[in-house]
Amino acid sequence: MKELRYQLDLLKAMNRKLAEKERMYRMVCDTSADAFLYCSFEQNQVEALGQWRDFFDFGIRERKEIARLYDAVDDSCLSSLQEVLFPEKTKEKVLSAECLLKNKDKWLQFRTKISYDEEGNPRDKVVCISDITKFKKQNEELTYMAYYDELTGLYNRNYFVRRLEEFVREAKETGSVVSVAIIDIDDFHKINDGLGMVMGDELLQQFGSFLKELCGKDIIICHLNSDVYCMGIYAPGGRSSVEHIHGMIQGRTARPFQLSSGQELQITVSVGVAEYPEAAVSALELMKCAEIVMFKGKSEGKNTIKYFAPSILDEFLQSVEIEGRLREAVSRKNFRMYFQPQFYTGNHKLRGVEALVRWEDSDGHMISPSVFIPIAEKNGSIVPLGNWVMEQSVKQFASWRKLYGVPFTMSINISALQCAEEKFVDHMLEVVKRYQVEPSEIEIEITESILIGDFDMMADKLTQLHQAGIKISLDDFGTGFSSLSYLKKLPIDTLKLDKSFVETVLTDSASRIIIESIIHMVKCLGFESIAEGVENERQCQYLHAIGCDVVQGFLYGKPQPPEGVEKILQGICTK
Ligand code: C2E
Ligand code: CA
Ligand code: CA
């Protein structure tokens, strides 16, 4: 009896423990966000637990009903779902599958755990079903971000480089060619500055969408940065050649882009092309070469396509080398000033001299400013260099005026960057004052390029200098955009006719017509006219005959060191 009671108590205690465990499992299942299927092989019993009702609108009670899940998922996921639901058939113990629901609004993850008895027969299994839609979406976004450019939907730079490397690798094996083209929208900054970044982005996006349509198995395009796109073509030819695609781009850019504001925008592009294996043998080098070629094309005029040539690369490398040496030269002031005289056509008297800088290389070579000034303008060293030129020229002029007492003008070339400096006007006036020279005997030569940026700011600076007495001369007239309207708005004293006109004036009647009308206009506006590049007597006589005031050129004197000018000044003194 005692034994029976003991057995009963034990049974009760075990039942309590079991009920406790059952409660615990239920609570765990109910608090989980997942749904579970428990399946016992011995009893052919299946139980749906957890958030089953949130996932499916049907229940499952027996093993054969598990297959009802097939109806819930997209056909593309069927076989993987089959494997995960019945792992006992594939001998895998744990499996997982990601399945899209039929209505495509959710991604579910199925994970199965199966247990076996000592003989290796399946005993029971649990299928856990989780909603991974959020995770999937995040993953998709991350994948998109890793490969695509958000603004245009084209490949991004990193992914493009990887794909281009694949093209190059394949071309190496097959002996094919890979074309790389950099496509740059001309004057995009004007659109961005003028219409704002939102409109600028809209244009980039629209142009990008157009380029996307050109992509294919062997044609890839990316949005490299700002207004620059890059295209890679594997084994170019026929419809997939750069020429053909460039033609299509030109066809598109011939029509304006319609912005959401209603505004219509027309663009042109400059394209630089480099090919594997001719230009370079790696993706990045090809892109760099194409970029150098594009810039070269752009410098010769926009709306162009330019193809790689070794000379372009040589020139670039040389400019990089010059740039490095130039920085050093600016810090060491390895420059000398030369001066070129200007004479009145009427009485042949000295009108003034133009200060022209020379770079004295470590080997004693004189490097022409036409080589290094553009580079100095690009890397900003024109500002310290220009300040040095200004100081040297004014100092030299002050000493000549004291020594010889001959009145004349010192003309100094000023670059746009230098003029744009905040303290430019103050600095210039300070130098003139320090050397005690008459401001009216100092002239600055500016080119039309100075007026391309902030016109009002430049005009204001020139007006300040002009009011202080300094003369303003417009250099290289006839080579720039020569819009006559700004001539009225600027305080100009002198206009210098570019030497390209003078060069052809005796042989080309069109040059004569232009030069004569410019001289006429200069007279009407009350400016002084100077013709540059006068190399022979006939040119000089012609220029005098049409009313040009002053000539400057090799005929009467090359740019020369100070001693040369001193001889001229001495000659005047002793007359
Ligand atoms: P630019 O201001 O037009 O200077 C005139 C250029 O024409 C000078 O070249 C001069 O040597 C050259 N030249 C003068 N007469 C004749 C001639 O009869 N025939 C020919 N074929 N050429 C003649 P340079 O000295 O090589 O200067 C080139 C350019 O470099 C200058 O053109 C100017 O734009 C720039 N530059 C020179 N010095 C300076 C400077 O100190 N500052 C700045 N910002 N630019 C400078
Ligand atoms: Ca000049
Ligand atoms: Ca000039």
Tens digits of residue pLDDT in 10-29: 889 889 998 998 898 888 88
Q: How far away, in angstroms, is 386 Cα from ligand 1 center? A: 14
Q: Which of 562, 532, 556, 566 is nearest to 349 (CA)?
A: 556
Q: Is 499 in the pocket of ligand 1 (CB under 6 A)?
A: yes
Query: In the prediction, which pLDDT does 195 show?
Result: 86
% of the chain beyond a pLDDT of 90: 65
Q: DSSP label at 242?
A: H
Q: Is 553 in the pocket of ligand 1 (CB under 6 A)?
A: yes
Residues of the chain with pLDDT under 50: none
Residues 522, 547 contacting (CB under 8 angstroms) = no
Bridge partners of 180, per DSSP, are 232, 274
Residue with CA nearest ligand 1 atom 37: 356
Q: Which of 370, 454, 9, 411 is nearest to 193 (CA)?
A: 454
**What ligand has the least distance to the C-alpha of 336?**
1
**What ligand has the least distance to the C-alpha of 335?**
1
| Closest ligand 1 atom to 393 CA | 41
**What ligand has the least distance to the C-alpha of 449?**
1
Q: Is 368 in the pocket of ligand 1 (CB under 6 A)?
A: yes
Q: Is 376 in the pocket of ligand 1 (CB under 6 A)?
A: no
- pTM exceeds cut of 0.75: no
How far apart CA 302 and CA 208 sit, in angstroms, is 20
Q: Is 34 in the pocket of ligand 1 (CB under 6 A)?
A: no
Mutation to probe ligand 1, out of 343, 365, 373, 445 (largest number of atoms < 8 A from CB):
373
How far apart CA 36 and CA 120 sit, in angstroms, is 24
**pLDDT (tens digit per residue) in 132-164:** 999 989 988 888 888 899 899 999 999 999 999
Residues 495, 530 contacting (CB under 8 angstroms) = yes
Query: In the prediction, which pLDDT does 87 show?
Result: 82
How far apart CA 331 and CA 188 sit, in angstroms, is 35
427 exposure class (CB count in 10 Å sphere: 0-12, 13-18, 19+): middle
Q: Is 476 in the pocket of ligand 1 (CB under 6 A)?
A: yes
**pLDDT (tens digit per residue) in 506-524:** 998 888 998 998 999 899 8
Q: How many residues does the chain have?
A: 575
Mutation to probe ligand 1, out of 413, 536, 552 (largest number of atoms < 8 A from CB):
413
**What ligand has the least distance to the C-alpha of 414?**
1
Residues 445, 415 contacting (CB under 8 angstroms) = no
* Beta carbons within 10 angstroms of residue 262's beta carbon: 6
